[in-house]
Structures are given as structure tokens and as C-alpha cells.
Structure 1
Amino acid sequence: MSKPSLLYLVHRIPYPPNKGDKVRSFNLLKYLSRHYRVYLGAFVDDPADEQHVAALSEWCGGVHCERLAPRWARIASLRGLLTNEALTLAYYRTSSMLEWARSVVAAQGIQEAAVFCSAMMQYIEAIPGLRTLADYCDVDSAKWTQYAPQHSGPMAWLYRREGRKLLAYERHAATRASAVTFVSEAEAELFRSQAPEVAAKVFAVSNGVNATYFSPEGDQPSPYPGSGPHIVFTGAMDYWPNVDAVTWFVREAWPAIAAFDAQAQFWIVGMNPAPEVLALALDPRVHVTGTVPDVRPYLRHAAAVVAPLRVARGVQNKVLEAMAMSRAVVVSTDAATGINAINGQDFLIAQTSSDYVEAIRSLLADPERAGSIGRAARQCVLDRYSWEAHLAQLDVLMERAPRT
């Protein structure tokens, strides 16, 4: 029996799965491809990803990827000020994407759709009759609202406005979906409280980790030039919350850590480091790698991993991946939210600079304790963060299995 066709719209090409949102959207694509002939529409905002478009044919019956230049898209998004809408919608709006979506729906007789990121729901609204699963992942509007206090002047005003306008659209678009999913119960409950009119169709479908790939086993030589100890942060380093996290950590916590261990080194591992991140390497014990072929050796040979995010939504894949690698992770309260783990057993939660200093001091001073936390972290991932188990919930939400 042939598979039914499905339209899948994603705000960023879901391959390779090398950053948080792409990990989730790619695993959703793999799930969908088992049950549907998927027609994927996505934007490519990094020229390095264009080489991977052809690889998507393994999971898709058809692929339409459009180049999106972030600088020009930001300028174009300002038209949202004139149309009195969220700038995010204008950022991801093109007539060519809508034309492709309409044509493929008509040509393939598509009746079902899945959307990743609330902004992509604007295309569904323009195509009547599609039964749609909307994976919002996070409450994006809350992210913009969180940004506002970290800025001042016009930017603070713009972030507050974006939070209000995007929430209004998220609520409106949710009425068009048959189900709306979020990465954690905390995010789902936040949206239910802000959009009570659609609470009955809001569900949590958590992230997972490929614990076979992210495993401490195997031959992975150390990428570090010295004996360390090495403390690491991983993530896309042009993403503002990551930039804010490492600059705050180096400014507020790192001097005290470096003072009590003269050999300690801090490694910032991730693509596209912003200028303010590159400037941190003026300290000879702070290293900024840029893009690396494989993040796992950096995790495996780290004495500790930090995630000092002061602005965080949903579930942080960087934390789960480090836990899967049996590393002791020191994580902020915001970054820990949504992760079903025990403070002091599976990871350590810190908030102030003093908290980070003390937590890292304790791990460096007692490697046996660090190892114990790392082993518990991996077991936590194995027990609670299987992609297969979490995505199986979609069988019900997409009406592939009976509701109970």
C-alpha cells in the first residue's frame, strides 16, 4: 500500500542535525517519512547547508529549499512594523515558498501537513483544508519577551513588541491546527495558560538523544593540546543566548575558576562565533574553536560541561548530549527547566557566578564525584530520552493510532 503524501514546512533546513532546532526537526522528518511520502519546504540560512539539500531525498518525495540571507531578511522583516504584525512572520514570508506549497498540495492531492516553528503556519493558513500538526517546539514569543530586560532603548521596545505580536499570532494559528506540540510540559503549560482557548489541543512531545551516537564508548582521541582540566561549552555561537551565556561566564565566573586551578582551560565549541565571542580568546586560557567536524571528542575529554544560559526555552539539546556522553554538566536554572533530571545526582544546577565557581571547584577537586554524576547523567538519558518513545505519541496526534 502506498504512503499518503504530506506537506512538511520548516523554517530552517533540517539537515544536517547539528544544532538544537535542526536536531528536533530532522527527527520529526524521519518519523514522518516512515508513514508518509513527505514533501519538504524549508529555508537555508547558512550557505554551508546548501550542499546537504540533495541528501534530504532519502526521506522526502520532494524537496523545495530557498536561500534566506539573514541580513536581508532582517531588513525585510521591518515591514511588519507597517503591517502591525510580528517581524518573525515577515522574516519567513516569501511568495515563492507559498507558490511551491500550493502547487505541490494540488499536484499530490495532499490533505495533511506538519509544520515546525509557529511562523511557518502562515503558509498553512493560505492553503485551506489541510489537517495540520504544528510543532511550535518552544513558546517563541516568550523568548523575545525574555530578551527585552537584557537590552535597553529601542531594542528593548522592539523585543517587547515582538513578544506581544508573536504571541497573538501563535494563539491565532493554533486554532488552525489539529494539534500543537511543545518540547516540554513546562512549555506546553505556559502556552495553555496564555492561550486557554486552545488548551485541549496542546501537548508535550519531548526531545530525545541518539545515545548510540553520543556515547562515551569508542575511540575518540582528545582534541585538547594539554592535560587541562578542560571545561567546555557547546552551541551555535551566533545565537544570542549562547553568546550572552559565554560572555557572562567568562566575565563573572571564569577569573575565580582560573585562580584556583592554574591549568584550567575553557573551550567554546561551536559554529559561527560572533565578534564578542572571538574577543574572549584574548585570555590565553579561553579557546574559541569555531566549526568542528565532531563535537563528541570535546565532550568526552572534558572535565566538566557548562550551560550558563540566562535565556533559555524548552529542552536544551546541548545539555542532553553532554549527559549522554557521561559528562558532569553544570547548568543554569533556565536551561535545566524541562529536563527530567535530579539536581546533585544527574547534573548540577547553578545560577550565580559563585554557584558556578563552587560547582566546578567541587568537580575538579573530586574526579570520582564528577564521574559518578556523569554515569548517572547517561543513565538518565537512556531511561527518559529516547526519540522513538517520545515521537510515538505523534501516532495518536496525527490520528494514526486510536486515542485513549
Structure 2
Amino acid sequence: MANILFLAHRIPYPPNKGDKIRSWNFLKELAKEHTVHLGFFIDNPDDEVHVSFLENHTASLCFETVTPFKQKLLCLRSFLTNDALTVGAYPYGKLQKYVRSLIEKKEIDLIFLFSAATGPIVPNDIEIPVITDLVDVDSAKWGAYAENASFPMSWVYAREGKLLAHYERNLADRSKVAYLVSDQEVAVFKKDFKRSITAVRGLKNGVDIELFSPAQNRDAQKIIIFTGAMDYRPNVEAVTWFVEKVWEGVRIAEPSAKFVVAGGPENPVVRKLEGYEGVEVTGYVDSMPEMLQSADIAVAPLLTARGIQNKVLEAMACALPVVASTAANEGIEAEHGKAIYVGDTAADFKMHLLTLLEKPALRELVGQQARQFVETEFSWDSACKQLNQDITKVLADAR
């Protein structure tokens, strides 16, 4: 047993969006065998109700609230200090004081950083070993934004991509082990980087296959679903593209088909899509598994994607056939035509969707193969086993 400090850029509970699903599963695993101290930020006031739950799972806890307005002000300061906006967007003082106190009391054997944004909380000169979970190569995402934006945002995004890439790599250098969510992300991270970073490795996401399980009975209502956090730009881009470029062609061929966008928070751009025939925007939902179980097909038409898409894995775990972009399948690498259908054009998506809508037996077969794929390839037990092995080795080397 060790004393582990777990730091996250967002409260790691409830597991209702990609990063929180990953951080919660790792935190839960570490708390089984170790004494865990927890620090995090809260960016949604509704999440404060979950603090008491986390207190019951940890030895100590500290958090700092941050509002979107405050983050914008902090980002403006980052332009003056020449820092990456991702790193500069958080008020670190309270959590830094909490960490210094734990270190001075010699209560910490290892520090686990979840996301690059937590790096500034920890002093650079400490001897306590650090493990970092970068999750995705966020700097590459900002670079992709820059390529598709017009000035001045193209300059802002390019600046963020460059500065954040430098910070991510320096943080990996500070760490005994640094994780990314897939081997593909590791390859992106190491590309064009002159120094050798041997301790960077892929650590897959998992799926709660008991929670995300196949529906007992499907009514075959020809419901197509997209799930995700709708304050996330790639998700907004994806559903907007799908409705504007694909949906009309699907509805002409299948007038009874329905497209459901499930997930909050409310987004005015997404809400306007309800003006299209057959489109429903739910906002927050009480149970995402139930939403998936009520659908017939899931889509993930992401134009920009990093890491592994939990929305795809969760739909597959519910035995839904998924039509996804190449970017959305990256890191998952499910076989096209067997456990998933992959396409990148409006014509591809329309063809795959109509094929699946017209052939219920094929939908069922692809869904079954998708479920089997997830059960075999994406297990939290496997990911947590690797994490525990690395922690054991890092602690042994530090002694």
C-alpha cells in the first residue's frame, strides 16, 4: 500500500463524459489498494453535490471552483506570459497549497497527474515520483483547429498547439511513466520530437460492459443516435455536418427515421438542428445506457478526434451497429464491415445507414460483433492491471 496523490483537471465523478469516465475508473482502482489524496477543479456548479461521495473514497480532498468567465480572464493573462491557454486557464493557488502541505508532512509516495493542465500544481523540483496520464495529444487537436480556421483564430489555435506541445513533452520528461489513450496517440506524440521518451506508452480506455449492455428488446423504430458532451466543439461540428450533409438523404429514403442527439449541456447551435424534420435534441439525459438501448444505430461522424471515442465503445457495448468516421475509429481499430462501418463522406454515411436500416438481420449481426469486440479488446480490468504494475515498479525503483 502506498500514499498516492491524484490530481485531475475536472472532478472525476460522475463518470458521464470521456475524461471523467477514465479518471474515475483509475481513481476507483487506486483507492482499492492505496491511500489516495485527491485534488481537482470543478467547472460545473452542479458537480459540487458529488464532493461528499468522493470524500468517502479518499483520505483527504481539496478542490477549486472555476467559472468559464474566470477561465477566459486567465487565458488572456496567458497571452502576456506566453503560456499555453490550456495550462493558464486554471487558478492553481489553493491546490498548490494543498499539495505543498501534503509533501511537507511526507504523506505522499507517488503523484498521479490526470491531464497536462494539472502539471503546474506540482513543484518541478520534488523527488516524489510522478506518473502522468495525458490521455490525448491535445496539442495536435489545436493544430487541426488551426488548419480549418480563419484569422485571427487560426493564429490563436496554432499558438496553442505549439506551446502546449512543448509543455506536454516537458511534463512527460518529468514523469516516470506517461500515458496516452492509444498507441496511435503515442506515435503522434513522439513524431518530430528529438529527445527519446521511452516511458510514454498507450493505456486503453475500457467500457463498463455491465452498465452498457444490449437491450432486451428493440422496437426497431429506425432511431439513429449521437451521444456526447454538447459543449465540446468536435461534437458540435459532427452533428451539424451530419444533419446538414447526410440527414436529408436518409429521410428521403426512410421518412420514418429519427435522429437523436443525446447529451448536455444545452447548445444553441445544436438546438437549432431541431428545425430539421425528424431531429430531436435531448440535452442532458438521466441514463445514457437507456438512450443507447432505445436506438437502432449510432453515428460518430467526427471531423476532428483525438484518442479513443468512448461514445463509440459504449454504443458497441450496447450491441449497436456504429457508422463512424475514420478519425472516430482511430485507436479503436474495429474492422470495417464487421464490428463497425467506417466512412468519411456524406455519401458513405448515407449508404451505410440505409443499408443497416433496410436490413434488420444485418443490424443485429453487426451489433453482436461489436459487443464481442468491446468485450475482448476494451476492458477496464486490463487497463487497471497495467496501471498497477507500473505503479508497483515506480515505487520499487524509488525506494
TM-score between both structures, scaled by the size of structure 2: 0.95
**Which of these residues, 111, 114, 117, is aligned with residue 112 of structure 2?**
114
Whole-angstrom CA distance in 1 between matches of 2:171 and 2:196: 10
- 1:268-307, aligned counterparts within 5 Å? 268-307=261-300
Q: Is the 8 A contact 2:215 2:294 kept in 1?
A: no
Matched ranges for 1:25-44 at <5 A: 25-44=23-42
Q: CA deviation at 1:193?
A: 2.0
User: Is the Cα contact below 8 Å between 2:132 and 2:177 reproduced in 1?
Assistant: yes
**CA distance in 2 between partners of 1:166 and 1:57 (Å):** 32
Task: Tell me how far 1:80 sits from its aligned partner.
Answer: 1.1
Q: Which of 21, 36, 44 is the matching residue for 1:46? A: 44
Instruction: Measure, in 2, the Cα distance between the counterparts of 1:339 and 1:178.
Output: 26
Task: Decide whether the 8 Å contact of 2:113 with 2:132 is kept in 1.
Answer: yes
Partner of 1:167: 165
Which residue is 2:19 aligned to? 21
Query: Which range moves more in the overlay, 388-397 or 350-359?
Result: 388-397
Aligned to 1:305, the other structure's residue is in SS state: strand
Number of equivalences = 396
Q: CA deviation at 1:167?
A: 0.3
Per-residue displacement from partner, 1:214-270 (whole Å, max 9, x unpaired)? 111558x98xxxx73110000000110000100111001011011111101110000
Q: Which amino acid aligns with 2:301?
A: P
Structure 1 residue matching 2:237: 3-state secondary structure: helix
Deviation of the 1:95 alpha carbon: 1.1
8 Å contact kept, 1:105–1:111: no
SS of 2:197's equivalent? helix
Task: Structure 1: give runs of 5+ residues left out of the alignment.
Answer: none
Output aligned runs, 1:188-199, within 5 Å: 188-199=186-197
Q: 1:152 aligns with which of 137, 150, 153?
A: 150
What is the SS of the residue equivalent to 1:153? Answer: coil
Which consecutive residues of structure 2, in runs of 5 or more, have no partner in the other structure?
none
Tell whether 2:243 aligns with 1:250.
yes
Q: Confirm or deny: 8 A CA contact 1:340 1:384 kept in the other structure.
A: no
Q: How far did 1:110 drift?
A: 1.0
Superposition pairs of residues 303-318 of structure 1, within 5 angstroms? 303-318=296-311
The change in CA–CA distance for 1:35 and 1:340 in structure 2 (over 3 A counts) is farther
Residues 1:371 and 2:364 aligned together: yes
Q: d(CA) in 2 for partners of 1:92 and 1:127?
A: 21
Return the alpha-carbon distance in structure 1 between the equivalents of residues 94 and 127 of structure 2: 20
For residues 352-397 of structure 1, the C-alpha deviation after alignment (integer angstroms, 9 at most, x for no partner) is 0110000000000111111100000000011111101122112332
**Displaced runs of 4+ in structure 1, greater than 4 A?**
400-403
For the 8 Å contact 1:80–1:87, the answer to whether it is kept is yes
Residue 93 (structure 2) pairs with residue 100 (structure 1): no
Structure 1 position 191, deviation (Å): 1.1
Post-superposition offset of 1:284: 3.8
In the TM superposition, residue 108 of structure 1 has moved relative to its aligned partner by 4.8
Query: For structure 1, which segment, 144-153 or 43-52, has the greater mean C-alpha deviation from structure 2 after superposition?
Result: 144-153
Q: Distance in 1 between matches of 2:108 and 2:296?
A: 51
Q: Does the 8 Å CA contact 1:9/1:120 hold for their aligned counterparts?
A: yes
Once residues 298 and 96 of structure 1 are traced to their aligned partners in structure 2, the CA distance between those partners, rounded to angstroms, is 39
CA distance in 2, matches of 1:366, 1:58: 49
**What residue is the counterpart of 1:356 in the other structure?**
349
Q: Structure 2 vs 1, CA of residues 366 and 218 (structure 1 numbering), >3 Å: closer, same or farther?
A: closer
Q: Assess, with a 3 A threshold, how the Cα gap between structure 1 residues 55 and 95 changes in structure 2: closer, same or farther.
A: same
